[in-house]
Amino acid sequence: FLSLVAEFCCGFFVILILGNFWFLAVLYLLWLYLDWRTPCAGGRRSQWVRSWTVWKYFREYFPIHLIKTSELNPNHNYLLGFHPHGVLVAGAFGNFCTEPPFKNLFPGLTPYLHIMPIWFGCPFFREYIMSAGMVSASKESVSHVLSNKGGGHASVIVIGGAEESLNAHPGNLTLNILKRKGFIKMALKHGAHLVPVFSFGENELFKQVANPKGSWLRNVQEKLQKIMGFALPLFHARGVFQYSFGLIPYRQPIHTVVGSPIPVKQNLNPTTEEIDQLHALYLQKLKKLFEEHKSNYGIPAHKSLIFE
């Protein structure tokens, strides 16, 4: 959906340039230049956009549910690690970029969903995603959110990133996380409490063309990801009036479970050993969260998370 909106915005910008409204395009480019750092400085959210009625229908389509397992004291800042990426990241968008799911369960906390910086270079589209509460996934942006001295801010980071979307097959439980420790370092530097979040059903929304590691397709996808910065999973689901083929996601329930916070003491210069220790604890808590709730959402008892 977001990709379609981005394409529409880019197309509209091209029409302005080629048509008789080129001066509007020039004014917007000037605005883009002056406003370039905003996605790294907390964005520009709009309560009106986040409360559009269309998001209510979007959440009800699957449906999307947010499950609270513990209180999050608004006097602290938090870094929420979201898993898995899936193809659409529907759980992250539906719960953290629309009202009122997160607001009702965690009053006093403001969530910021960090996404790839490349999206903020898309004319007009950048204004829309910022209004929904999305900000850049750059270190500068995460630092800006977590440096709020009064607390009450929550950075939401999809830890597996674009690479993990290539594993987004129904039933797959592989997470790209063993080498991803940057979020741990950021939490330590700012004293932000870590919160594991697992979104059950995220990988069930689409079927993806088989791309096992080592296959020619996977090799091409990984090379393109390194060049462009984002992955290109070949996926399909249902159509508007039939269920055999299309790009509309399947109606599969998504249950996004927010775990208990891991207290983190601020450490401006954490050592590699300290980062590794906290990373190991985070993996332990994430696995525990998954094991405690998997039976509620149709995951067989013999299946567990795979970290790579």
User: pLDDT tens-digit profile of 264-306?
Assistant: 999 999 999 999 999 999 999 999 999 999 999 999 999 999 9
Please, which residues have CB within 8 angstroms of residue 150's CB and are 6 or more apart in sequence?
75
Helices (H), the chain: 2-18, 22-34, 47-50, 53-61, 90-96, 101-105, 125-131, 139-146, 161-165, 182-190, 216-228, 272-293
Q: Which of 147, 170, 145 has the alpha carbon at shortest distance from 157?
A: 145
Q: How many CB atoms lie within 10 A of CB 10?
A: 14
Q: Which residues pair with 78 in a beta bridge?
A: 154, 193
Q: Which residues pair with 207 in a beta bridge?
A: 236
Handedness of CA 255, 91, 225, 5 (dihedral sign): positive
Handedness of CA 190, 195, 201, 204 (dihedral sign): positive
The CA-CA-CA angle for residues 36, 6, 257, to 5°, reads 90
Which residues of the chain register pLDDT less than 70? 1-16, 18, 22
Q: Which residues pair with 148 in a beta bridge?
A: none
Set out the domains of the chain in order of their start, with CATH numbers: 40-307 (3.40.1130)
Chain centroid offset of residue 17 CA:
32
Q: What is the pLDDT of residues 112-148, one digit of tens each?
A: 999 999 889 888 889 999 999 999 999 999 999 999 9
